[in-house]
Chains A and B, each alone.
Chain A
Amino acid sequence: MELDVRATHTELINRPSQLRLNWYRFRKNPLTLIGGIVLLLFIIIAVAAPLLTPYEPEVINMENRLAPPSMSHWFGTDEVGRDVLTRIIYGARLSLGMGITVVVIAGLIGTIIGAFAGYMGGKFGQIIMRIMDVILAFPTLVLAMALTAALGPSLINAMLAIAIVKIPAFVRLARSEALVVREQLFVKASKTFGLSDIWIIFRHIIPNVITPVIIQVSIDLGDAIMLIATLGFLGLGAQPPIPEWGTMVHTGWEFFMEQWWYATFPGIAIFLATVSFNLLGDGLRDVLDPKSIR
Chain B
Amino acid sequence: MLLQIEDLAVSFLSMYGKTDVLEDVSIDIDSGEVIGIVGESGSGKSVTALSILGLLDNNAQINKGHINYKGNDLLTLPPNKLQLLRGKEIGIVFQEPMSALNPTMKIGKQISNVIRKHRNVDKQTGKQLAIKALEDVQINNPQEVFHKYSFQLSGGMCQRVVIALAMSSPPELLIADEPTTALDVTVQAEILKLMKKLSDNHQTSIMLITHDLGVVANTCDRIYVMYGGKVVENGTTSEVLYHPQHPYTKGLIDSIPEGKSKNHPLKVLQGDSFNPGKRPQGCVFYDRCNIRSSKCLEEPPTIEVNAKHNVACWEAESIAIRE
Residues of A at the B interface (CB closer than 8 Å) are 184-186, 188-196, 199, 203-204, 207-208
Contacts and interface: CB of A to CB of B under 8 A. Distances in A.
Given A203-B113, A204-B102, A189 B84 contact: no
Contacts of B83: 194, 196
A191 B85 CA distance: 11
B157 interface: no
A195 B87 contact: yes
A190 B109 CA distance: 13
Given A193-B165, A194-B117, A203-B113, A188 B55 contact: yes
Nearest to A210: B104
Interface of B: 53, 55, 83-88, 90-92, 94, 96, 99-105, 113-114, 117-118, 162, 165-166, 168
Contacts of A196: 83
Contact of A194 (B55, B84, B94, B101): B84
A186 B102 CA distance: 6
Contacts, number: 63
A207 B88 contact: no
A213 to B, nearest CB: 13
A115 to B, nearest CB: 13
B128 to A, nearest CB: 19
A198 to B, nearest CB: 12
B58 to A, nearest CB: 9
B55 A195 contact: no
A203 B96 CA distance: 21
B86 A192 contact: yes
B155 to A, nearest CB: 13
Given A194-B84, A208-B103, A189 B92 contact: yes
Given A185-B99, A189-B94, A189-B100, A194 B105 contact: no
Q: Is the interface of B mostly helix, strand, loop or mixed?
A: mixed
Among A189, A193, A203, chain B packs the most CB atoms within 10 A around the CB of: A193
A214 to B, nearest CB: 13
Nearest to B97: A185
Nearest to B80: A196
Contacts of B100: 185-186, 189
Nearest to B87: A194
A193 B166 CA distance: 7
Contacts of A194: 83-88, 114, 117-118
Contacts of B85: 194
Contacts of A195: 87, 113-114, 117
Q: Is the interface of A mostly helix, strand, loop or mixed?
A: helix
A203 B102 contact: yes
Nearest to A197: B83
B94 A207 contact: no
A196 B101 CA distance: 16
A119 B166 CA distance: 23
B113 to A, nearest CB: 7
A193 B105 contact: no
Contacts of B88: 194
Given A186-B100, A199-B113, 13 more contacts: A184-B99, A188-B94, A191-B86, A192-B87, A192-B92, A193-B87, A193-B168, A194-B85, A195-B117, A196-B83, A203-B113, A204-B102, A207-B104
Contacts of A208: 102-104
15 contacts: A184-B99, A189-B92, A190-B102, A192-B87, A192-B91, A192-B166, A193-B91, A193-B114, A193-B166, A193-B168, A194-B86, A194-B118, A195-B87, A203-B113, A208-B102
B165 A186 contact: no
A194 B119 CA distance: 12
A189 B104 contact: no
A192 B55 contact: yes
A192 B92 CA distance: 7
Nearest to B91: A192
A203 B105 CA distance: 8
Given A194-B84, A203-B102, A208-B104, A189 B165 contact: yes
B116 to A, nearest CB: 10
A277 to B, nearest CB: 26
A192 B49 CA distance: 12
Nearest to B175: A192
Contact of A207 (B87, B96, B105, B118): B105
